[in-house]
Structure 1
Amino acid sequence: MKKKNLTLSDFYGSTVWSYTRVSTKEQFMNNGSIETQVKRIKSFAKDHGLIITEEFDAEYESSKKINTQNTLRELIDKIKKTSINKRPKIILIWSPSRFGRAGAEHIQLFVKLRKEFNVLLYSVSTEHNTFNERAENEFSTQLLYAQKENFNRQDTIIPGLINSLNNGKTFGKTPRGYDHYGPRVSNPTKVKAFQEIILNEEGKLLKEAFKMKIYKSYSDKEIINWLKTKGIKIAYQSLSNMWKNEFYAGKVCNSLLEDNYIKGNWEPIISKKEYQILQKILGGSKHLGVAKIKGKEETPLAPKFLVCNDCNASMTSYLNKQKQLFYYKCNGCNKTVNANSSSKAVHIGLHEEFQNKLNDFKFSKELHDLFSEQLKKILSDEMSNLSDKKRIITKEANESKDALDKMEYRFAINEISKDIFERQSQKILDNIKQKVYELENLPTKKSNHDKAIKYFLKISENPSKFYASLDYNKKRKFQEMLFPEGFNYSIKNRDYRTSKVNS
């Protein structure tokens, strides 16, 4: 094989390998697919007496850099490990651009293949090869041209992509809860002339899950179990990623954009403000970590609320199966404290101590009049902007009703299809229902303030009794409302300290 001007016939009967590649799903679906390349390469090998002993097929692998071509690197590694007498004489490829588009990187690679391993390249579709210096020069030109094609494509396509993103479109697979319609989707039933992303039935349940997380202090486990009852299975990690995905807040997310808020053309599950609240909830206090506990109903002070004042670590809870008693344990110093008081316990339970602390907020009936006046002032301030809120919501509801009327007219004169009318009108109807719900739940100036004040006074007369009457989630909410930075407790001194109290 040391002839300077080798031809393909010199390799008749030789062992060869094949390498095929497509970088996108679109190429895979069309004539440039792996299957098409493999079929033609095998036919070529048979016609020229070449024996293919190894095939390397790379689906959806970009070749802008060699380090993104996992299959090509796998081929090179195998050549290194293969003995000289079993190495292929040639690697058959479909075209130089299928070998790679990284220009100088791929040129260095084929030179290395020839010099270090005596392995050559041959393009079945174009006949370009690396059999001699002149052929290598032409092969190099083809690789550089392929790289230039990429650069030109970036110069023309990327500005268009950025413009589409700025107009509220998104690219790639949409997250759970949405159906993606458009001209380039793979599902033929969802092909449309224009992109449309619609919240589906699963998305409506996920919307409720977000509300449970933000407003009701539900844990991920509780939400996963609730979703399971609705027929939705989701893993812990998937749920964790979902909480952090700004797509659900209606934001267009793409690496081509700067970190600006661009509103997407789809119905968000939560608002931008709700997303920010959720991230604060997920971040939590610097003291608090992820706690693994059992018996949550019996131990409402964990997780993410109780902090050891001796070592500043978070505390969790567990059940002593032998004693059938619940305890709180510090994750830092490993000290424990009984959750409840019992006849055998040396000290009163932490729950009783916490309720004693709640009773510090109790005040006598002599202060009721003063407290009532203060509450009336607070309620009056809350009501001051009520008219503006009602006006804005009513205006939005009326605008949606006008939009629905216009859509019905367009459908009547056959300007839009029945499919589009049904889907879009349902979205408008849902929005109208939401606005009506908001109006119905706005407090009115006729609200019985005296009744509300009487309720608050009842709580203040015996806070611990009120707390004991709540279910788990309401207890958690009440705790966090009073002690937003958690409840610090010293197991060593059997004493508590609160860094911040909402009173």
Structure 2
Amino acid sequence: MELNYFNQFSSHKEEKESNNDVWSYTRVSSKEQFDTNKSVENQLDYAERTAKKGNFVITQTFGGTYESAKGDFTRKEFKRLIDEVKKSKKKPYAILIFKMSRFSRTGGGAIGLVHQLIHEMGVNLIETSTGKNTLTERGEHEILESLLYARKENLERLEITIPGMRRFVEKGNWLGCAPRGYDHYGPRVKDPKFICAIQKLEINKEGKLLKRAWIWKLEETPDSVIRTKLSNLGLKVSKQFLSAMWRNPFYCGISVHSFLDGKAIKGNWDSLVSQKDFVRINERLNSKENSGYQQSKFHSERPLQGFVKCGTCNSKLTGYTKKGVYNYYKCSTPSCKTKDMNAKTTCRSKNKGLNDLFKSHLKKFELDPTLKEVFKEQIKLTIKSIEQRGQSQKPSLEKRKAKLELDLKSLRKNLAFGKITNELFEEFNGELVDQLNEINTELVNIQKPTSNLNEKIDKCLDITQNISKHWCCGDVHQKVQIQKLMFPTGIVLNPKKRVYRTKEMNSIFSQIAVISRESKGQKKDPSVKLTDGSSMVAGTRLELMTFGL
């Protein structure tokens, strides 16, 4: 009897391969490789030849771009490939890869992923450059060995490059692309106009606008308002970018790169914000984050809360809304006997609202139109006095600058010859650089001419003549800015008489009051005697900057 009859009872079954669909994955490590060589095209060519030889059909392609193999799932195209394999009902027979180093350099992580692809999903890997594949146990072992070798190769490369990169960072240089607001000059940059023998990070046009954003943040201007202001100046930024910028020490001239092992150092670039102001902003941000949900302290119907002080106990007024319609101010001290006060004047209110009283109070400091030309001349004299004082200070500032530059050069020379330690160098280097930056800023302000002076003075005059109107028409943030401009330390309210008392006010508006009094007191000669401007200089410098002068 023929034994072939009994073959039908054998448990062995021949595998019939009906799936000939394959996918391909290609990549290079950097944009430079992607732009300059034909590696991706070469990888695709090998994939097509392998598919043709094995009677496969490439149904999907992934990659085709530059992605570092430092991590597996930080690569967008690689992650898309694996996710597509997992969710696909009809999985590919194999994934075609030029070399296993193109697939991954993570070593153990990659081996676990390959095991999952082969044994859980039934997807093989084929190395198109060598023909190695995971169709047999020996082939699978060879593929895993290739992945381990790729990891070893990567580690050896890092052992050579990392020490040099670490020394580069320790010298105060920046590694990688410069953050937004800076132009990056150096020997290895791609843009020819930025090629330079040594690295330099210089503040560009965007940086100058971002510098203003830091000033607004110090003034507690909300991020949404800062974004609007920047957009009006032609710079669009996302709320995520602003949030990250406030917390990035780079912008105050500090490097905290991971190569520094947790030790911050002074960077070799100009800062957009001082270290002191950076700390102030971040302490404020941290205090808000740690206290949970925070209500905005600004309310569109109660712009004076937190600004006006109670005349009874000197505490700041806060506020609340009643029945969702009526707004009231109240003293923040629970034991204070001051009664709650209406914010607006309505037909039902017995007393005039605090907002309307404040508007009337502002009108007292508005410039009389008949004194417009007198005040204009006074402002010009004040600016001239400021510029003269600056010019008189210029020689001493330049002398101090020269001495600091000499001290800095000597300090760096001592470090080079090993006369001082790195710790001492970093301690004194940062101090000298900060002093030098402050002097350079002062010199720039002295040398910078006041452009469009008449136009800016006219704008200043418009504000001083119509301050109450600007306050009424502005949004809550503009109202708060005007309040702080007028009365830097706040204002006190007598709750019984409902009268505002001014302790300290903007020196420009103080001068308006002086000019008004003098004009009223001179009946025979209505012209007002102008000062030389020197008496206004100290108190007016910041106010002039506020008005854009």
Q: Establish whether residue 100 from structure 1 lines up as the match of residue 104 from structure 2.
A: yes
| Aligned residue number for residue 23 of structure 2 | 17
Q: How many aligned positions are there?
A: 379
| Aligned residue number for residue 291 of structure 1 | 296
Q: Establish whether residue 261 from structure 1 lines up as the match of residue 268 from structure 2.
A: no
Letter in 2 for 1:104: G
Secondary structure of the corresponding residue to residue 159 of structure 2: helix
Q: Is the 8 A contact 1:288 1:304 kept in 2?
A: no
Q: Which residue of 81, 85, 108 corresponds with 1:79?
A: 85
| Aligned residue number for residue 441 of structure 2 | 434
Q: Which residue of 107, 126, 143 corresponds with 2:147?
A: 143
Q: Is the 8 A contact 1:288 1:314 kept in 2?
A: no
| Aligned residue number for residue 161 of structure 2 | 157
Give me the whole-angstrom Cα distance separating, in 2, the residues matched to 1:299 and 1:204: 30
Secondary structure of the corresponding residue to residue 92 of structure 2: coil
Q: Is the 8 A contact 2:202 2:270 kept in 1?
A: yes
| Aligned residue number for residue 415 of structure 1 | none
Q: Which residue of 229, 245, 248 corresponds with 1:245?
A: 248
Tell me the CA shift for residue 437 of structure 1: 6.2
Which structure 1 segments of 5+ residues have no match?
307-311, 331-335, 356-388, 404-428, 441-466, 488-503
Tell me the CA shift for residue 24 of structure 1: 3.3
Tell me the CA shift for residue 101 of structure 1: 1.4
Residues 420-458 of structure 1 deviation map (CA, whole Å, 9 limit, x = unaligned): xxxxxxxxx998763336789xxxxxxxxxxxxxxxxxx
Secondary structure of the corresponding residue to residue 241 of structure 1: helix
1:149–1:338 distance in 2 versus 1, CA, 3 Å: farther
Give me the whole-angstrom Cα distance separating, in 2, the residues matched to 1:304 and 1:48: 83
| Aligned residue number for residue 58 of structure 2 | 52
Give me the whole-angstrom Cα distance separating, in 1, the residues matched to 2:60 and 2:215: 54
Residues 11-30 of structure 1 deviation map (CA, whole Å, 9 limit, x = unaligned): 99932111223343344334
Give me the whole-angstrom Cα distance separating, in 2, the residues matched to 1:329 and 1:29: 66
Q: Is the 8 A contact 1:400 1:432 kept in 2?
A: no
Tell me the CA shift for residue 250 of structure 1: 0.7
Worse-matched range after superposition: 235-244 or 159-168: 235-244
What are the residue-to-residue correspondences of 1:184-195 with 2, within 5 Å?
184-195=188-199
Give me the whole-angstrom Cα distance separating, in 1, the residues matched to 2:51 and 2:78: 20
What are the residue-to-residue correspondences of 1:461-500 with 2, within 5 Å?
472-473=480-481, 475-476=483-484, 481=489
Worse-matched range after superposition: 273-282 or 95-104: 273-282
1:432–1:40 distance in 2 versus 1, CA, 3 Å: farther
Secondary structure of the corresponding residue to residue 20 of structure 1: strand
Q: Is the 8 A contact 1:177 1:202 kept in 2?
A: yes
Letter in 2 for 1:99: F
Q: Is the 8 A contact 2:306 2:317 kept in 1?
A: no
Residues 382-405 of structure 1 deviation map (CA, whole Å, 9 limit, x = unaligned): xxxxxxx999844343459999xx
Secondary structure of the corresponding residue to residue 68 of structure 1: coil
Give me the whole-angstrom Cα distance separating, in 1, the residues matched to 2:186 and 2:308: 44
TM-score, scaled relative to structure 2: 0.56
Secondary structure of the corresponding residue to residue 110 of structure 2: helix
What are the residue-to-residue correspondences of 1:174-323 with 2, within 5 Å?
174-214=178-218, 216-283=219-286, 289=294, 291=296, 295=300, 299-301=303-305
RMSD: 5.0
Which structure 2 segments of 5+ residues have no match?
1-11, 311-315, 332-339, 360-392, 408-435, 448-470, 473-477, 493-549
Residues 130-168 of structure 1 deviation map (CA, whole Å, 9 limit, x = unaligned): 232222222222111111122222322222222111111
Q: Is the 8 A contact 1:328 1:339 kept in 2?
A: yes
Tell me the CA shift for residue 97 of structure 1: 0.7
Q: Establish whether residue 111 from structure 1 lines up as the match of residue 111 from structure 2.
A: no
Letter in 2 for 1:139: I
Instruction: Give identity over the alignment, percent.
Output: 34
Secondary structure of the corresponding residue to residue 260 of structure 2: coil
Letter in 2 for 1:53: T
1:287–1:186 distance in 2 versus 1, CA, 3 Å: same
Give me the whole-angstrom Cα distance separating, in 2, the residues matched to 1:314 and 1:154: 59
Give me the whole-angstrom Cα distance separating, in 2, the residues matched to 1:22 and 1:316: 60
Residues 457-495 of structure 1 deviation map (CA, whole Å, 9 limit, x = unaligned): xxxxxxxxxx99x97425337888469xxx9xxxxxxxx
1:274–1:117 distance in 2 versus 1, CA, 3 Å: closer
Give me the whole-angstrom Cα distance separating, in 1, the residues matched to 2:307 and 2:243: 17
Give me the whole-angstrom Cα distance separating, in 2, the residues matched to 1:161 and 1:438: 38
Q: Is the 8 A contact 1:293 1:317 kept in 2?
A: no
Q: Establish whether residue 345 from structure 1 lines up as the match of residue 349 from structure 2.
A: yes
Tell me the CA shift for residue 199 of structure 1: 0.8
Q: Establish whether residue 172 from structure 1 lines up as the match of residue 176 from structure 2.
A: yes
